[in-house]
Structure 1
Amino acid sequence: MNPIIKEIFEKEMRIAKELYLSKKWEEAFSHLEKAHILGQRNAIPHTINHWWMLKVGIRKKDGKEIRGQIIRLLVVGIGSLLGRAPIGNTGGSNVGIMTPLPISSDIAQIFIKANLPIR
């Protein structure tokens, strides 16, 4: 994983975990979505991210999110390994697994700084 991306991915995951422990599920999920965009090109961080999304879905008792994350956990590593992760996808079950999304300007700047494509 690119060191610039890794640093910010880990920061977002750390914040998400702190919010999770504080039972701030929506805020935690928001940081998990940002971390997802950053980490989806790498199988292990991508999988860890979806595990935490599943945990939030369970805490929220959100059946759609739980089912969506279980499906993603079954296929996520394969997509990352094959370079098939849809750029910009936030990882939640409210978005199709292979649906690319526009990248926010702050995340685009991170990719540019890391010398990675944003499309």
Structure 2
Amino acid sequence: MPPALLEAFTAEMAAARAPGPVAQRWRAAERAHILSQPWPWPHARTHGVMLRLALRDRDVRETVGQLVRLAVAAPGSAAGKYPDGNTGRTRAGLTTPMPIPDDLAALLREAGVALRP
């Protein structure tokens, strides 16, 4: 990951792990997920954080969904097969592209990531 993108990713991951309102933690994890998708290890790490959040919430559906995503995240990133903008949550769908927030899209473009329409 290029430095500016890594800085943003690290900040979002820290916010996802920090004590605080669960909704804010999930939002940070989702943003970290969008930034991490092109890179196998960060992508898998993001799903690990999401799995911990799902377990903390005692959300069985989200937990199962995160286990599946954890298994396919790194290979999908390595192969370039991931849905741009997907938040990584079970309710988002495994292969559903989603709009990318403007600030994250700018960071990804600056890092040389080709965003698909």
TM-score by length of 1: 0.90
* Preserved contact between residue 103 and residue 118 of structure 1 (Cα < 8 Å): no
Partner of 1:86: 83
In the alignment, which of 71, 75, 79 is matched to residue 74 of structure 1? 71
Q: How many residues align?
A: 116
Question: CA–CA distance in 2 between the matches of 1:112 and 1:78?
Answer: 22
> Where does the alignment leave 5 or more consecutive residues of structure 2 unmatched?
none
Percent identity of the aligned residues? 37
Q: Which consecutive aligned stretches of 4+ in structure 1 deviate over 3 angstroms post-superposition?
A: none
Structural mapping, 1:1-119, within 5 Å: 1-18=1-18, 22-119=19-116
Q: Which moved more, 1:67-76 or 1:107-116?
A: 107-116
What is the DSSP-based 3-state SS (H/G/I as helix, E as strand, rest coil) of the residue aligned with 2:43?
A: helix
What is the DSSP-based 3-state SS (H/G/I as helix, E as strand, rest coil) of the residue aligned with 1:80?
A: helix
Q: Which moved more, 1:94-103 or 1:104-113?
A: 104-113
* Preserved contact between residue 2 and residue 114 of structure 1 (Cα < 8 Å): yes
Over the aligned positions, Cα root-mean-square deviation in angstroms equals 1.2
Deviations 1:6-38 (A, max 9, x none): 1110111011111xxx25222111100000000
- Structure 2 counterpart of 1:36, one-letter code: H
